[in-house]
């Protein structure tokens, strides 16, 4: 991993956020020196493959794609550092990343677009502000977008996730069957791959690092994906250790169950705040 490919936001007090320009993937978020994100010990940093862990940026497709790579191309190509890390008056640190259409992206998906991704590192929070702009004069495009966040946990079986009760979900472990969630907290004890629709703007995950809670707040991300490969599917991934599944849970804010339709000259904005409680 060449030094030039990594950008570090440093707030002081051992609170940092590291972004790999390959996919603008957040690969580390430390609060008082405690890592909050899971990255597999077998993750590949070859500038080609998506990074297994942290927060890969899924755009313009979620899931398998007839035109190109699963989960789109944004997590597979190098982004630009639009604004280098800068300390704000509040003491927080901000950086801005951007991605525009290129010969490569247009060879897969022939639209002009501009993405900006603004990260702000606060004392116990990480803020994500995303804008997608359609600069075309006449072409409308549609897309999915999702932040594929891998949270680090001591034991996923002890985590509880709020904000899903009453929501409809698509269960990808049961051939896409649709169910309604009755539980006030969701727990994970097996292979789990669910798209929860029209979820609450806030989720809390219990028993993350050091037994603390993680709050997820989201805006304009209608869906929440919950994923853990369990042993069954950990074995299928060359870049994920067979024994690593108990130490991660993916709780992913996204707009994936229906596409965003973006008219010429318009923009779509979405955001997420992660907070260690």
Residues marked active site are found at: 148, 252
Distance of CA 266 to the CA centre of its chain: 23
Cα separation, 204 vs 163, in Å, equals 7
Asked if residues 165 and 187 have their Cβ atoms less than 8 Å apart, the reply is no
Cα separation, 226 vs 194, in Å, equals 5
Supply φ then ψ for residue 172, to 5 degrees: -75, -10
Detail the residues annotated as belonging to a binding site for substrate.
52, 70, 75
Q: Which of 204, 181, 203 is nearest to 192 (CA)?
A: 181
SS3 annotation, 48-66: CCCCCECECEEECCCCCCC
Q: What count of other Cβ atoms lies within 10 Å of the Cβ of residue 180? A: 9
């Amino acid at each position: 991993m060449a030094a030039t490919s990594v950008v570090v936001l440093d707030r002081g007090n051992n609170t940092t956020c590291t972004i790999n320009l390959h996919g603008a993937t957040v690969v580390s978020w430390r609060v008082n020196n405690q890592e909050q994100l899971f990255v597999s010990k077998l993750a590949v940093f070859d500038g080609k493959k998506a990074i297994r862990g942290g927060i890969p940026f899924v755009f313009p497709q979620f899931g398998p794609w007839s035109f190109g790579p699963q989960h789109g191309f944004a997590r597979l190509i190098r982004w630009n550092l639009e604004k280098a890390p800068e300390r704000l008056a509040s003491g927080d640190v901000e950086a801005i990343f951007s991605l525009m259409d290129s010969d490569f992206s247009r060879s897969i998906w022939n639209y002009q677009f501009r993405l900006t991704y603004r990260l702000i590192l606060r004392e116990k929070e990480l803020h994500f502000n995303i804008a997608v702009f359609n600069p075309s004069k006449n072409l409308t495009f549609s897309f999915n977008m999702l932040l594929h966040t891998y949270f680090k946990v001591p034991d996923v079986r002890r985590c509880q996730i709020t904000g899903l009760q009453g929501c409809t979900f698509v269960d990808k472990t049961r051939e896409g069957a649709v169910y309604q969630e009755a539980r006030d907290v969701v727990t994970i004890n097996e292979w789990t791959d669910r798209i929860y629709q029209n979820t609450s703007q806030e989720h809390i995950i219990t028993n993350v690092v050091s037994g603390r809670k993680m709050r997820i707040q989201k805006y304009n991300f209608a869906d929440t994906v919950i994923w853990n490969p369990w042993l069954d599917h950990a074995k299928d991934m060359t870049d994920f250790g067979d024994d690593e599944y108990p130490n991660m849970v993916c709780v992913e804010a996204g707009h994936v169950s229906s596409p965003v339709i973006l008219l010429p000259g318009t923009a779509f904005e979405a955001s997420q705040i992660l907070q260690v409680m």
